[in-house]
């Protein structure tokens, strides 16, 4: 075969084939061999389209409910934007007052108890493996005594967990996909997102920034951040947080009495999030179970995260009273216990030792000292925005300040503050459509960072 015939047969449309080694050498070029005209043809080299190179795909379809979720979860999205900002301004000192993550050290009385329990695991006498899925008996008893004394809540109503956020999802598994739900608007995004994942909702409606089949209970400055229950449709589940994240508002005893009665009238279950109860300054209920009749219609979740700096240690609890029954009379607590035993092997025994220390007289006092520090941070932030002429809400009963920027996009304000002050906040619209026009500023931070951030706010908005 001639050299050109060999080439014409070997060159393909693939660029990799064109670059492959051949036998076309200088000695071959020296040969003078006559070739028929019909052997000459034009070869066109074209790169293979990128889309032809595809990854292997299984035959498993994607969960359609997860596909409904909009963009990323709020706080990872904020972290992504913070990272992008640092890449743009590598020398900037970025101050994070966005995600509600604690910053101050855990009191030594608490960490020493965890250290002691940890060390004991290296001994035959002190080693322990799996514990009760519901939590250690001593800790459950201490939680009942410390937070629910005289409310009729007993230790076997309490389930210790790896955090309130995890329990919110476990409760959704108990409820299943056929329930309807209502949520404060604005509110902590985990309530809505977990409902979407469970299949309780319709599609996201971009024109109103809401998911179908969710009852959004609008909470505004005009209604004191408590929904007008006369306008709320009946749902199976109501998620309610007090003190509220993000607005910082706390429901009064009268308001919670209305909420419990509303639930009773409608045969509804309230999931009450009390993760910030110890930040309360007003004489408002710190537990839903302070309200008569609440044990028949309510579940309460709470956490050591914002009390003792356990955001990384991970420990919380959920109260499911034995009086709470499904429509067929079956106790809700028994189903929750079944889910806990199936999906969870119990909280860390080291973390539980720390929680037990939190509830000792010395540990409880130390927790309040840390909470007091964050509340002082809150006062500084509130004073700053007040001095600049903004309408400011929250701050008194929770470690969050809710600042109004009327007529402006929350994400636009977030970006403006980040770009011009290198301070991370949280856009209000990330908590629901009712949060548009607000930003949330967290009081979790070292004092020098809080003061510096406020100095920058004053420089930007003076």
112-141 confidence digits (pLDDT tens): 999 999 999 999 999 999 999 999 999 999
Q: What is the pLDDT of residue 12?
A: 38
Mean pLDDT score, 392-399: 97
Check pLDDT > 50 for residue 9.
no
Identify the CA nearest to 322 among candidates 105, 143, 152.
152
Distance CA 165, CA 56 (A): 35
Per DSSP, the three-state class of 336 is helix
**pTM beyond 0.85, yes or no:** yes
Mean pLDDT of the chain: 91
Mean pLDDT score, 3-13: 41
Check pLDDT > 60 for residue 19.
no
Check pLDDT > 50 for residue 450.
yes
Reported as half-sphere exposure (CB side, CA atoms, 13 A), residue 132 has a value of: 13
Distance CA 2, CA 31 (A): 10
pLDDT digits over 290-342, tens only? 999 999 999 999 999 999 999 999 999 999 999 999 999 999 999 999 999 99
- Read off the pLDDT band of 33 (50, 70, 90): very low
For 233-246, letters b (16+ CB in 10 Å) and e give eebbbbbbbbbbbb
**Pick the residue with more confidence: 12 or 167?**
167
Identify the burial level of 280 via C-beta atoms within 10 angstroms of its C-beta, where 0-12 means exposed, 13-18 middle and 19 or more buried.
Answer: middle
3-state helix, strand, coil in the chain (%, to 5): 45, 15, 40
Q: What is the pLDDT of residue 70?
A: 87
For the chain, list the domains and their CATH numbers. Answer: 3-52 (no CATH), 72-104+365-461 (3.90.1150.10), 108-363 (3.40.640.10)
Of 37-41, 86-90, 396-400, the range with the lowest mean pLDDT is: 37-41
Distance CA 125, CA 385 (A): 56
């Amino acid at each position: 075969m001639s050299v050109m015939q060999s080439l014409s047969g070997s060159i393909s449309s693939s660029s990799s084939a064109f670059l492959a080694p051949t036998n076309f050498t200088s000695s071959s070029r020296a040969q003078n061999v006559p070739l028929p005209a019909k052997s000459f043809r034009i070869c066109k080299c074209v790169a293979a389209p990128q889309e032809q190179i595809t990854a292997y795909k299984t035959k498993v379809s994607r969960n359609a409910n997860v596909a409904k979720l909009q963009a990323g979860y709020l706080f990872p999205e904020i972290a992504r934007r913070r990272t992008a900002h640092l890449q743009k301004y590598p020398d900037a000192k970025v101050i994070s007052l966005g995600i509600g993550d604690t910053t101050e050290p855990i009191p030594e009385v608490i960490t020493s108890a965890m250290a002691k329990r940890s060390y004991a695991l290296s001994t035959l006498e002190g080693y322990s493996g799996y514990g009760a899925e519901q939590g250690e008996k001593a800790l459950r008893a201490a939680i009942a005594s410390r937070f629910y004394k005289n409310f009729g809540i007993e230790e076997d109503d309490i389930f210790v967990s790896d955090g309130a956020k995890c329990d919110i999802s476990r409760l959704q598994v108990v409820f299943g996909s056929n329930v309807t739900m209502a949520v404060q608007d604005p509110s902590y995004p985990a309530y809505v997102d977990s409902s979407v994942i469970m299949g309780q909702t319709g599609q996201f409606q971009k024109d109103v920034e809401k998911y179908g089949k969710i009852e959004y209970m609008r909470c505004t400055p005009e209604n004191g951040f408590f929904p007008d229950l006369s306008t709320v449709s009946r749902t199976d589940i109501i998620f309610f947080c007090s003190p509220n994240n993000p607005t910082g508002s706390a429901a009064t005893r009268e308001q919670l009495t209305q909420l419990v009665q509303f639930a009773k009238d409608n045969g509804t279950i309230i999931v009450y999030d009390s993760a910030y109860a110890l930040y309360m300054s007003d004489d408002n209920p710190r537990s839903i179970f302070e309200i008569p009749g609440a044990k028949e219609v309510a579940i309460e979740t709470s956490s050591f995260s914002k009390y003792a700096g356990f955001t990384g240690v991970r420990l919380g609890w959920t109260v499911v009273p034995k009086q709470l029954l499904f429509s067929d009379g079956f106790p809700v607590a028994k189903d929750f216990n079944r889910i806990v035993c199936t999906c969870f092997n119990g909280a860390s025994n080291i973390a539980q030792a720390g929680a037990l220390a939190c509830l000792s007289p010395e540990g409880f006092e130390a927790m309040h000292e840390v909470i007091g520090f964050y509340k002082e941070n809150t006062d500084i932030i509130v004073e700053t925005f007040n001095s600049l002429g903004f309408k400011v809400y929250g701050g008194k009963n929770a470690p969050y300040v809710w600042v109004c920027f009327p007529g402006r996009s929350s994400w636009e304000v977030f970006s403006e503050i980040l770009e011009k002050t290198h301070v991370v906040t949280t856009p209000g619209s990330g908590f629901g459509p009712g949060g548009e026009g607000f930003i949330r500023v967290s009081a979790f931070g070292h004092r020098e960072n809080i003061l510096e951030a406020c100095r920058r706010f004053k420089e930007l908005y003076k």
